[in-house]
Amino acid sequence: HSPYTLSLHDALPILYTKISATRSYVYAVGRACDAGNISRRDCAGVILYSSDRAVEVALGAFIPLFARCWSWS
């Protein structure tokens, strides 16, 4: 399901799961860097993936709120 077509109540679990998965990925790459296993591809990948998920989750929360406010007027 796309969080953009769901109500905010239905979209929150999906958005929370995406944020949790992203957080785990960021922490895993951070632990690898702390251990000295620094890979430029991993670092670039985590930046790209986490920024993409941040935009997706922000829109996923904003659009249902906007749709709800828009329907009240």
Burial (CB count <10 Å: 0-12, 13-18, 19+), residue 25: middle
Which residue from 44, 10, 7 is spatially nearest to 25, judged by alpha carbons? 44
Residue 68 has pLDDT above 80, yes or no: no
Model confidence pLDDT, tens digit, residues 13-56: 999 999 999 999 999 999 999 999 999 999 999 999 999 999 99
d(C-alpha 11, C-alpha 68), whole Å: 13
pTM: 0.77
